[in-house]
């Protein structure tokens, strides 16, 4: 007669390989969050300040400075996504800061970015869905943020992102791709550059 | 690929594949939602209306939907052949509800939708991913669009198929089941 404990051990022995596979899959999924651009558990700051010469050469560009930062707060949010049990290895959270030409204020907004094809992520302001900014690594030390993009027929389609969470409020702030705000190249920088 | 994105992509591919057997929809659908250009239809409401919880509603097709539609069509799609709208169009329903957004502003929620129309049909049927409900869209005299929720069901207005983000139901209030939408420039549809 087989005792219940023996049956349990037999079941455990049978399930052990399954458990190992599950553990392996979990490890693989967790490992995927560690990429060169956004290492898991490590804050990152990518920033760009356009100098006077650049702005003079691009008079239609509205953005004067832009940064994309993952601080402890965002990394904690990423862990919540993972703990929720979803396959969220490609989700990252970040703070976007933008200073516009002729406006001394710094616009600050929280982003959530999800993976898509071709290595690109697309970020939105959760409180203001509809807007979107593209995020593409450019080597190990730089990222490209983009507003809108080209379709296969070559036509460019403009888009936008909200710069605060008051999208239906009295003072919405919106960055549109406009004539010269389609793409921004940001390089890895010390955290101070994202303040 | 993220789980919700994967489910969404599979749902869209399945619905596109199912709809591909259908004949051409009314040309009107192409006029409403061109294959390679953004479009927005919007309604704004009296924020104090007692039977409505909605203060703004947009049915839009912007760069994200155009891009995802091309991705769903696959890499082999010839450059000169945009996705066939006869099989369905992707759009986004954005709803702002009265009340509890930042600093007391309206709270905005959005859902991905896929719209199809059968041959000769006067209406498009739009479904929210992951059985979030459906609604019909038809053109009214004067050029506006009439959006009507399916009988007996509310819409689940949420980003994706999971509960990672909060969601709201649309259709609970009696004044939130039928809407008249006006073609709106994208610049005014943010």
**A91/B102 touch (CB, cutoff 8 Å), yes or no:** no
DSSP single-letter state for residue A153: T
CA distance A147 to A152: 16
Please report residues of A whose CB lies closer than 8 A to that of B110.
Answer: 129-130
pLDDT for position B20 = 43
Q: Are A157 and B62 in contact (CB under 8 A)?
A: yes
Per the structure block, which two tokens stand in for A37?
Answer: 């651009």
Question: Do the beta carbons of residue A38 and residue A150 sit within 8 Å?
Answer: no
Contacts of B62 in chain A (CB under 8 A): 130, 132, 157, 159
Say what the pLDDT of residue A145 is: 98
Q: Closest Cα to residue A97, out of A181, A166, A194, A167?
A: A194
Helices within B45-133 (DSSP H only): 63-73
Whether the CB-CB separation of B109 and B158 falls below 8 Å is answered with yes
Chain A interface, best mutation among B5, B8, B64, B92, by max A CB count within 10 A: B64
Q: What pLDDT is attached to residue B78? A: 52
User: Full-prediction pTM beyond 0.95?
Assistant: no
- pLDDT the model gives residue A11: 41
- Phi, psi at residue A162, to the nearest 5°? -75, 145
CA distance A129 to B93: 10
Q: Which of residues 169-188 of A touch B (CB under 8 A)?
A: 169-170, 172, 174, 176
In this predicted model, what pLDDT tens digit does every residue of B8-22 receive, in sequence order?
555 545 454 444 434
Closest in B36, B162, B165 to A153, CB measured:
B36
Helices B3-19 and B63-73: angle between axes, nearest 10 degrees: 70
Asked whether B181 and B145 are in contact (CB, 8 A), the reply is yes
CB contact residues (below 8 A), chain A span 24-43, against chain B: none
CA distances from B84 to A157, A161, B19, B39 (A): 18, 28, 11, 16
Indicate yes or no: CB of A114 within 8 angstroms of CB of B5: yes
- Residue A129 DSSP label: B
- Report how far residue B15's alpha carbon sits from residue B181's, in angstroms, rounded to the nearest whole number: 25
Domain that holds residue B162: 3-188
| Token representation of residue B93 | 């329903």
- Model pLDDT for residues B15-69, shown as the tens digit of each residue: 544 444 344 445 566 678 888 899 999 997 776 777 778 889 999 999 999 998 8
Q: Say if residues B128 and B150 touch (Cβ distance below 8 Å).
A: no
**Rounded to a whole number, what is the distance in Å from the CA of B81 to chain A's nearest CA?**
8
Q: Residues of chain A whose pLDDT is less than 70?
A: 1-35, 85-89, 116
**CA dist., res. A24 & res. A190, Å (int):** 35
Q: Provide the pLDDT for residue B47.
A: 67
The encoded tokens of residue B90 equal 């992707």
Query: So what's the pLDDT on residue B25?
Result: 43
Q: What is the pLDDT of residues B97-135, one digit of tens each?
A: 887 766 777 889 999 999 988 767 778 899 998 889 999
Q: Domains in chain B: how many in total?
A: 1
**ipTM of model over 0.90:** no
Residue B184: which of B59, B55, B23 has the closest Cα?
B59
Of A115, A129, A162, the CB nearest to B2: A115
Asked if the Cβ–Cβ distance from A129 to B96 is below 8 Å, we say no
pLDDT at B79 over 80: no
User: Among partner residues B3, B96, B104, which is closest to A87 by beta-carbon distance?
Assistant: B3
Residues in chain A: 195
């Amino acid at each position: 007669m087989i005792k219940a404990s023996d049956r349990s051990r037999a079941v455990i022995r049978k399930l052990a390989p399954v458990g190992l596979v599950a553990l392996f899959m979990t490890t693989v999924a967790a490992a995927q969050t560690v990429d060169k651009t956004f290492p898991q558990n490590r804050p990152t700051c990518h920033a760009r300040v356009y100098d006077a010469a650049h702005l003079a050469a691009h008079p239609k560009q509205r953005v004067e400075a832009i940064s994309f930062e993952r601080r402890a707060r965002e990394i904690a949010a990423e862990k919540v996504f993972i703990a929720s049990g979803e396959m969220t290895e490609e989700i990252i959270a970040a703070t976007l800061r933008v200073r516009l030409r002729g406006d001394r204020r710094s616009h600050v907004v929280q982003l959530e970015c999800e993976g898509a094809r071709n290595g690109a992520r697309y970020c939105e302001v959760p409180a203001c869905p509809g807007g979107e900014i593209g995020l593409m690594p450019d080597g190990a030390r730089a990222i490209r943020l983009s507003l809108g993009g080209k379709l296969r027929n070559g036509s460019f389609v403009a888009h936008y992102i909200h710069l605060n969470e008051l999208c239906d409020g009295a003072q919405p702030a919106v960055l549109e791709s406009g004539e010269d705000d389609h793409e921004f190249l940001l390089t890895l920088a010390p955290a101070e550059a994202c303040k | 690929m993220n789980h919700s994105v994967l489910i969404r992509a599979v749902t869209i591919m399945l619905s596109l594949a199912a709809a591909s057997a259908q004949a051409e929809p009314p040309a009107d659908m192409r006029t409403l939602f061109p294959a390679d250009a953004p479009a927005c239809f919007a309604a704004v409401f009296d924020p104090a209306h007692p039977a409505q919880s909605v203060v703004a509603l947009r049915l839009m097709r912007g760069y994200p939907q155009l891009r995802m539609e091309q991705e769903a069509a696959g890499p082999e799609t010839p450059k000169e052949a945009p996705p066939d709208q006869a099989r369905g169009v992707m759009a986004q329903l954005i709803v702002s509800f009265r009340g509890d957004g930042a600093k007391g502003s309206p709270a905005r929620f959005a859902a991905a939708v896929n719209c199809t129309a059968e041959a000769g049909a006067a209406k498009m049927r739009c479904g929210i991913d992951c059985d979030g409900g459906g609604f019909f869209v038809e053109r009214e005299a004067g050029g506006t669009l009439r959006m009507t929720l399916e009988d007996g069901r509310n819409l689940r207005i949420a980003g994706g198929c999971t509960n990672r983000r909060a969601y709201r139901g649309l259709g609970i209030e009696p004044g939130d089941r039928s809407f008249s939408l006006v073609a709106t420039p994208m610049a005014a549809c943010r």
